[in-house]
Chains A and B, each alone.
Chain A
Amino acid sequence: EADIYQTPRYLVIGTGKKITLECSQTMGHDKMYWYQQDPGMELHLIHYSYGVNSTEKGDLSSESTVSRIRTEHFPLTLESARPSHTSQYLCASSPTRGGNQPQHFGDGTRLSIL
């Protein structure tokens, strides 16, 4: 069973605030991902990492930034939140070995910017 944790689960906050969404996994996976998901819509990859000190932008442009200082931790930061950032953010991880391994997902953070 996957062990990947996201905090907070829900966040309602005002415009202009700095926000950090936490994601941690205990499986030792090298690869980690952040997706953005609007209600009734598909998941869009916004950031991914192949390992420590590796970060890449995904297919959907995002004003957020990420860091990967430790294998188990992949936080996402919004320096100045705006209402357009309101969405659900899902974190995932997968092992390195060969090809496309299944990604294991956290339960998500539902973010609302007022």
Chain B
Amino acid sequence: AQSVTQPDIHITVSEGASLELRCNYSYGATPYLFWYVQSPGQGLQLLLKYFSGDTLVQGIKGFEAEFKRSQSSFNLRKPSVHWSDAAEYFCAVGDGFQKLVFGTGTRLLVSP
């Protein structure tokens, strides 16, 4: 069965600084990978997805993620963080049909 690990529970970044959120997955086949963001009191919004092809994936709000098969990782990056990026970020892996397994999430705090 697939699994996802997000090793950082909380991360604090200064506004304007770069960001990298870590995600490691376990899955026997080619994974379907997703990053979602959840603002307080809201549902999850899709930031980006990886199915195949180019390992660097561009998403909304200036986010990107890189798939590294050798490291079983799918880290999320943003070159310059804005205060509005403060939220909970979830990495997820799909089983190729329709079930997703989510990580425990990383809470991003943005300091002035």
| Residues of chain A whose beta carbon lies under 8 Å from any beta carbon of chain B | 4, 6, 31, 40-43, 45, 48, 50, 58-59, 90, 92, 94, 99-108, 110
Contact B43 A108 (CB under 8 A): yes
| Residues of chain B whose beta carbon lies under 8 Å from any beta carbon of chain A | 9, 32, 34, 36, 41-46, 49, 51, 90, 94-105, 107
**B34: A residues at CB distance < 8 A:** 102
Measured CB to CB, the closest approach of chain A to B75, in angstroms, equals 18
- Least CB separation from A104: chain B residue: B46
**A31 with B46, Cβ < 8 A, contacts A42-B105, A100-B32, A102-B34 known:** no
Complex Cα–Cα for A31 and B8 (A)? 31
Complex Cα–Cα for A4 and B46 (A)? 14
**A108 with B42, Cβ < 8 A, contacts A99-B94, A100-B98 known:** yes
**A48: B residues at CB distance < 8 A:** 98-99
Complex Cα–Cα for A102 and B98 (A)? 9
Contact B104 A41 (CB under 8 A): yes
**A101: B residues at CB distance < 8 A:** 98
Contact A94 B43 (CB under 8 A): no
**A100 with B97, Cβ < 8 A, contacts A41-B104, A42-B102, A42-B104 known:** yes
Contact A42 B103 (CB under 8 A): yes
Contact A94 B49 (CB under 8 A): no
**A105 with B98, Cβ < 8 A, contacts A41-B104, A99-B32, A99-B51 known:** no
Contact B41 A107 (CB under 8 A): yes
**A59: B residues at CB distance < 8 A:** 99, 101
Contact B95 A100 (CB under 8 A): yes
